[in-house]
């Protein structure tokens, strides 16, 4: 069994009952610098169990130092911080056909981080049950198959990273877990015209608000290349977005474990012959509860970004689904 990280657990005692803690984030915590073992694992091992690595973002802490070292109050706390988005495309396909909201965590981040103040490297991922709960996926077969997909990944972590098992626990998810939008459009003979025009406006709007598009995965193209059926959708793709300064103020300020949610995956899909694009992304509000964030400034920033993302999307014509 995974041991509990007690300092990440807030136990709320009620007069009649006690909230039961849930497993939120799984880590392999190993003594020493495990960056070499981690890189070997993602470069040579995970593909053998079906996982595909998207563009890696390694040693983000060095970019923080270069960009923000002149800011007032800057302190270099991280010895390593890396985001490596991965997905098991083959196993995921039948699940996406049934539950497209899984794109909110497909790909997901296999996080690595190490603080300067301790000789421990942590490698881990968000509990897949929490991913399912955030996206509102209740289909029992999908839940079972999605969770099962992570079992070989954990075995590879155990053999390559080793170390102790740790779990960051939490009490409950927020009431608003997944922001969902619908964007109605007029279909033409070539749907790519609409998609390309929207993508250009989307990328420009987020760039104007100081976000970075760090990854883009077109599952429709992935499955076309694999020559497998994905015809339920005329289009299905996922953007990974990051607000770099915001991430610095959280991950470099004592809450590197919250990097498990980064970068944020925003899925977009159009069902075959339909004229509505469905868009979704996990609320950053989930970071507060699952990652145990209590710093008031960080909490305020998280809620500000949630509102800003909604404003950007509604500014593009998308309607928030309540």
Please spell the DSSP secondary structure of 25-40, one letter per residue.
EEEEEEES--HHHHHH
CATH of the domain at 147: 3.30.310.70
Cis peptide bond prior to 72, omega within 30° of 0? no
Half-sphere exposure (Cβ direction) of 226: Cα atoms closer than 13 Å: 15
Please spell the DSSP secondary structure of 191-234, one letter per residue.
HHHHHHHHHHHHHHHHHHTT-EEEEEEEHHHHHHHTT---TTEE
3-state secondary structure of 159: helix
Q: How far apart are CA 33 and CA 28, in angstroms?
A: 13
Q: How far apart are CA 187 and CA 185, in angstroms?
A: 6
Q: Which pLDDT tens digits describe the chain residue by residue (322 residues)? A: 344 443 443 333 232 234 579 999 999 999 999 999 999 999 999 999 999 998 899 999 999 999 999 998 899 999 999 999 999 999 999 999 999 999 999 999 999 999 999 999 999 999 999 999 999 999 999 999 999 999 999 999 999 999 999 999 999 999 999 999 999 999 888 899 999 999 999 999 999 999 999 999 999 999 999 999 999 999 999 999 999 999 999 999 999 999 999 999 999 999 999 999 999 999 999 999 999 999 999 999 999 999 999 999 999 999 999 9
Burial state string for 243-272 with b = 16 or more CB within 10 A and e = fewer than 16: bbebbbbbbbbebbbbbbbbbbbbbbbbee
Domain count, the chain: 1
Q: What range does the domain containing 79 cover? A: 3-320
3-state secondary structure of 308: helix
pTM (global) more than 0.75: yes
Q: Is the dihedral of CA 117, 120, 123, 127 positive or negative?
A: negative
Backbone angles phi, psi at 8, to 5 degrees: -100, 5
């Amino acid at each position: 069994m995974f041991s509990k990280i007690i300092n990440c657990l807030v136990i709320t005692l009620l007069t009649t009952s006690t909230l039961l803690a849930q497993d939120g984030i799984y880590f392999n915590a190993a003594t020493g610098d495990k960056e070499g073992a981690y890189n070997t694992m993602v470069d040579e091992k995970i593909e053998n169990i079906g996982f595909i690595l998207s563009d890696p973002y390694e040693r983000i802490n060095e970019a923080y130092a270069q960009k923000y070292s002149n800011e007032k109050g800057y302190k270099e706390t991280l010895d390593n911080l890396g985001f490596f988005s991965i997905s098991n495309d083959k196993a995921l396909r039948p699940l996406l056909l049934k539950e497209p909201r899984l794109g909110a965590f497909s790909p997901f981040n296999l996080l690595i981080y190490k603080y300067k103040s301790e000789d421990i490297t942590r490698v881990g991922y968000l509990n897949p049950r929490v991913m399912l709960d955030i996206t509102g996926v209740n289909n029992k077969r999908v839940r079972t198959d999605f969770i099962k997909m992570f079992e070989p990944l954990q075995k590879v972590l155990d053999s390559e990273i080793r170390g102790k098992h740790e779990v960051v626990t939490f009490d409950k998810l927020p009431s608003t877990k997944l922001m969902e939008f619908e964007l109605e459009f007029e279909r033409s003979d070539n749907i790519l015209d609409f998609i390309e025009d929207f993508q250009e406006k989307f990328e420009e709007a987020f760039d104007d608000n100081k976000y970075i598009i760090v990854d883009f995965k077109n599952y429709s193209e992935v499955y076309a290349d694999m020559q497998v059926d994905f015809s339920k959708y005329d289009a299905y793709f996922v953007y990974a977005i990051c607000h770099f300064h915001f991430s610095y103020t959280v991950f470099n300020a004592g809450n590197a474990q919250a990097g498990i949610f980064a970068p944020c995956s925003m899925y977009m899909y159009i069902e075959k012959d339909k004229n509505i694009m469905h868009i979704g992304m996990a609320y950053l509000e989930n970071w507060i509860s699952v990652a145990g964030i209590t710093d008031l400034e960080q909490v305020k920033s998280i809620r500000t970004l949630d509102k800003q993302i909604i404003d950007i999307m509604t500014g593009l014509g998308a309607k928030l689904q309540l």
